[in-house]
Amino acid sequence: MKNINPQIEQLNQLIDSHHHIVALTGAGISTSAGINDLMHMPMGSGSLLSSESSLEADPVSFYKELHKTFLDQIFQNGPTIAHKALANLEKSGHLDAVVTTNVDYLHEIAGNTKVADIWYSFNHNYCLKCGHEFSIDILNQSGVPYCPICGGLISPGPTHHHIGTSRTDIENAVTWMNEADMVIVIGSNGYYDRVKENVPLVQINPLKTEFDQEATLNIRENADDVLSGFV
């Protein structure tokens, strides 16, 4: 195995010498929790999850698939080492915020308080009958969740919004990115590309991505290995 310590040392120095760091994360940060990239799921899964009509047509199959692809991993495996590292970096004042294209809410579960979930998350779920909104807790049960107020079917946020973008979260993301003096991109393929020029960009990703060209430091390893020192 390649010795990645010099790169981690360089990352530590960059973190110490910057004061407004934002992490931009994508599917790669959640794969060690067992969650696949929505865009690369076995055929049908991604579209199944984004289709409210398939939820209404067959709630049992829909939630069975949702448990298999997301909910069991979120509630049983929880945040990865990298999620926990980012939460610690925020707590110690080294990280301003997280911008993520993930819908799994694992950054918040890990303890990050400033998170822009730009494609919504499983923390916003809606009753299809009375419209009441529920947090992620309503999904933490086996089978199909129903509204405790009116008995209506619950639609998960990303499904309800057809994996659309959240305007509030986009606004936060733009603000935080504009204030950033350094960006750490973790496991993102570049679905979100509002990365300022002229600020150091550190990328942690074992795969080639759109960020390769502009990265000041490119650590081609998985995020858990690189960030374990921060947990």
> Using CB under 5 A, which of the segments 68-76, 127-135, 159-167, 168-176 binds Zn ion?
127-135
Go through the chain and tell me how many residues it has: 231
Tell me: does residue 149 bind Zn ion (CB under 5 A): yes
Q: At closest approach, how far in Å is the CB of 155 from Zn ion?
A: 11
* Out of 147, 153, 182, 195, the residue judged to bind Zn ion by CB under 5 A: 147
Q: Which is nearer to Zn ion, 132 or 194 (CB)?
A: 132
* Out of 33, 127, 139, 154, the residue judged to bind Zn ion by CB under 5 A: 127
Q: Tell which positions 81-120 bind Zn ion, by CB under 5 A.
A: none
Structure tokens at 174: 């733009």
* Out of 152, 190, 200, 206, the residue judged to bind Zn ion by CB under 5 A: 152
Question: How many residues of this chain interact with Zn ion, rule: CB under 5 A?
Answer: 8
Is 173 in contact with 179 (CB distance < 8 Å)? no
Helix (H, G, I), strand (E, B) or coil at 48: helix
Q: At closest approach, how far in Å is the CB of 46 from Zn ion?
A: 27
DSSP of 193-211: --PPTTS-EEEE-SS--TT
Structure tokens at 144: 């199909």
CA distances 83 to 108, 128, 218, Å, are 9, 32, 19
Q: At closest approach, how far in Å is the CB of 133 from Zn ion?
A: 10
Q: Which is nearer to Zn ion, 48 or 55 (CB)?
A: 55
Q: Which is nearer to Zn ion, 75 or 146 (CB)?
A: 146
Tell me: does residue 57 bind Zn ion (CB under 5 A): no
Q: Which is nearer to Zn ion, 126 or 230 (CB)?
A: 126
Q: At closest approach, how far in Å is the CB of 36 from Zn ion?
A: 31
DSSP of 103-168: -S-HHHHHT-SSEEETT--TT-EEETTT--EE-GGGGSSSS--B-TTT-PBEEEHHHHTTT---HH
* Out of 39, 57, 130, 207, the residue judged to bind Zn ion by CB under 5 A: 130
Residue 36 burial by Cβ neighbours in a 10 Å radius (0-12, 13-18, 19+)? middle
* Out of 12, 68, 113, 150, the residue judged to bind Zn ion by CB under 5 A: 150
Position of tokens 């993520």?
100
Our separate counts of H helices and E strands in the chain read 10, 9
Which residues contact Zn ion by CB under 5 A?
Answer: 127, 129-130, 132, 147, 149-150, 152
